[in-house]
Structure 1
Amino acid sequence: MTVSNDESPLSLDGSEIHVCQDGPRDAPALLLIHGTAASLRWWDPMVPLLAGSHHVIRIDLLGCGQSAKPDDASYALPDQARQIGAALDRLGIEHAIVVGHSSGSAFATALAEQRPDLVTALAFINFGPNMAAYIAEDIAIEPLQWPHLTDEQLRQMMSSGFRPGYEIPQPYVDHFRDIDLHVFAATSQAIRVYLEEQGLPERLMPLGKPLLVIFGEEDRRWRPCAAAEYRAVPDATIEMLPGVGHSPNIEDPPRTAVPLLTFTANHTQPAT
């Protein structure tokens, strides 16, 4: 895994948010948001491909990775988005292209709704437009059993997050083992509420932001054909990747980076 050239906590609203920055600070900003039951480390394979031309910023969402897990935290998407925006403000970022993997796409959308001044364009990697596109079985977790699960049991629970037959690297199994079960449940529910209130295409249409949707054709969590619903968003581009599943950023980083870099080159604002 890549080693960040700047990794530090930010204190926001009394909670510490873990942030990694890679690449030239005077390059255009590219914010990467991870999905549920993950952390900023899920972007590690992509960073070397992106940091040559971008100021790459990754954050651990509240309750995830090395960020704080306060007992009284709100995991509602608007509240999380406000904290993401505050983190970028603290870093001096005025414009950024925002990329979400899986449910990170919903957080990216919430940020764009709140801060259209900040978000230049959006890119989603394998996230459905609404709950009707969700095809995975919900993971049933027994808190008392969790510490005793084997790596192979965890891999089985994670398997829908990758193409069939993919051998999940051990670091991601370790990250999954370390998730906070309360945060996992609260975030999952918050995402469901957000999508049931309004689907992502409907939220994005009035914003006028360029959109790239990358979708692995072997996704087992979100129906791949549902990616076509994003065409309702003006200036949307859809790239289907054969042979990969729900996590192209881990399964095939070079192939995932190609459409992403083309998109960012066309929609980047100069760094300030």
Structure 2
Amino acid sequence: MTIPAGQPHVKDDAEAAEESVLPLDDGDIYVCQDGPRDAPVLLLIHGSASSTSSWDLLVPLLTRSHRVICIDLLGHGRSAKPAGVSYETPDQARRVGAALDRLGVKQATVVGHSSGGAAATALAEQRPDLVTALVLINAGPSLDAFLAPQAGAIEPSRWPPSDEQLRQFASTGFTADYQIPQELVDELRALDYHAFTAAMQGTSAYLAQRSLPDRLRGLGKPLLVIFGADDRRWRPSSAADYLAVPDARIEMLPGLGHTPILEDPPRTAAPLLAFTATHAATHAAQGGE
């Protein structure tokens, strides 16, 4: 489906869902909005080797009480994949902020999965006026928490890889018994190799400079950390590192891996919605917009 730049496309099967491609200075950014437009905003930022589609099972559980905005970071999904631009985490966050400005969003609770948690943190650093609270889902707090994947990285000379290679590459993103759907394999195959690797390197550099808990500690933003307790990419016990952030809440999900948003959306949505409800009530009592 081709969507003209800057023009919305309303999905036939969901009256409230609207897709747009927003032209920014260094590339077009794809966004999808769902839920009541006057409801509090939830911004969802995907992780590496992923896109807005990673949220497809979770979004319907959130739209009753939120205006949900999903965004494809530059180099991913249906956003542009230009060469010669920066895919560093602060630059990705800057583009997200610019996209929200184009949409007229003044405040948002920002949810980041995996490396999307780094982009969410960078956005909070850059735009504390915009980000009112943060939810990080299986976002490794520092490079020390990274578990070397069992499947090796796929080299450029082996691209495009076979379905089996892609399933091996993605396997540590889930529990061992999770059946990786063909739709995910096809999406991985469509990745732009340069943009994907550059974005991953950008995340590593961002974490090497300062850990996420250290960055978040001084921001004063409400924080919920959701972690699949059987994560095979980031050491699950590292979730406790976020307790260095004042009043941070940690929600461990036993039996789930690195991607609980796909493995068990209802169990992921429950603490998220409880957190946003509490945050909204506190925000209103303090006279927030």
Give yes or no for TM over 0.5.
Answer: yes
The separation in 2 between residues aligned to 1:52 and 1:170, in whole angstroms, is 29
| 2:148 matches 1:133 | no
Question: Cα deviations across residues 56-90 of structure 1 (Å, max 9, x unaligned)?
Answer: 00110001000011112111111111110011111
- Aligned residues: CA RMSD: 1.5
**What does 1:240-255 correspond to in 2, within 5 Å?**
240-255=252-267
Contact in 2 for aligned 1:213/1:238 (Cα 8 Å): yes
2:112 matched to 1:100?
A: yes
Q: Paired residue for 2:165, among 153, 156, 165?
A: 153
| 1:209 and 2:221 matched | yes
**Secondary structure of the equivalent of 1:52?**
coil
Which shifted more, 55-64 or 170-179?
A: 170-179
Structural mapping, 1:1-272, within 5 Å: 5-137=17-149, 139-147=152-160, 149-268=161-280
**Which amino acid in the other structure matches residue 92 of structure 1?**
G
CA distance in 1, matches of 2:148, 2:97: 31
Q: Assess, with a 3 A threshold, how the Cα gap between structure 1 residues 174 and 130 changes in structure 2: closer, same or farther.
A: same
Q: Which runs of no fewer than 5 residues in structure 2 stay unpaired?
A: 1-12
Q: Which amino acid aligns with 2:92?
A: Q
The 3-state SS of whatever aligns with 1:58 is: strand
Number of aligned residue pairs = 270
> Residue deviations 1:179-209, cap 9 Å, x none?
1110111111111110010000000011000
3-state secondary structure, aligned to 2:274: helix
Tell me, in whole angstroms, the C-alpha distance in 1 between the residues paired with 2:221 and 2:258.
24
TM-score w.r.t. length of structure 2: 0.90
1: CA distance, partners of 2:199 / 2:167: 21
Matched with 2:5 is: none
Q: Which runs of 5+ in 1 are unaligned?
A: none
CA distance, structure 2, for counterparts of residue 233 and residue 220 of structure 1: 24
CA distance in 2, matches of 1:234, 1:187: 29
Q: Which moved more, 1:168-177 or 1:17-26?
A: 168-177
Deviation of 1:48 after TM superposition, in Å, equals 0.3
* In structure 1, distance between residues paired with 2:38 and 2:92: 26
Q: Please report how far the alpha carbon of residue 141 of structure 1 lies from its aligned counterpart in structure 2 after TM superposition.
A: 1.6
Letter in 1 for 2:184: Y
Matched AA of 1:123: V
TM-score, normalised with respect to structure 1: 0.96
Contact 1:43-1:249 within 8 A present in 2 as well: yes
Distance 1:184 1:163, change over 3 A: same
1:152 deviation in Å? 2.3
State the structure with bigger RCO (CA 8 A, min sep 6), 1 or 2: 1
Q: Percent identity?
A: 63
In structure 2, distance between residues paired with 1:184 and 1:9 = 20
**TM-fit CA distance, 1:174:** 1.0
Q: For 2:108 and 2:37, how far apart are their aligned partners in 1?
A: 12
1:64 match: secondary structure = coil
Aligned to 1:173, the other structure's residue is in SS state: helix
Q: Which runs of 4+ in 1 moved over 4 A?
A: 269-272
The residue type equivalent to 1:171 in the other structure is: E
Q: Does the Cα contact within 8 Å between 2:22 and 2:31 map onto a contact in 1? A: yes
Deviation at 1:14, TM superposition (A): 4.6
Partners of 1:20 and 1:180 lie apart in 2 by 21
Q: Report the AA paired with residue 157 of structure 2.
A: L
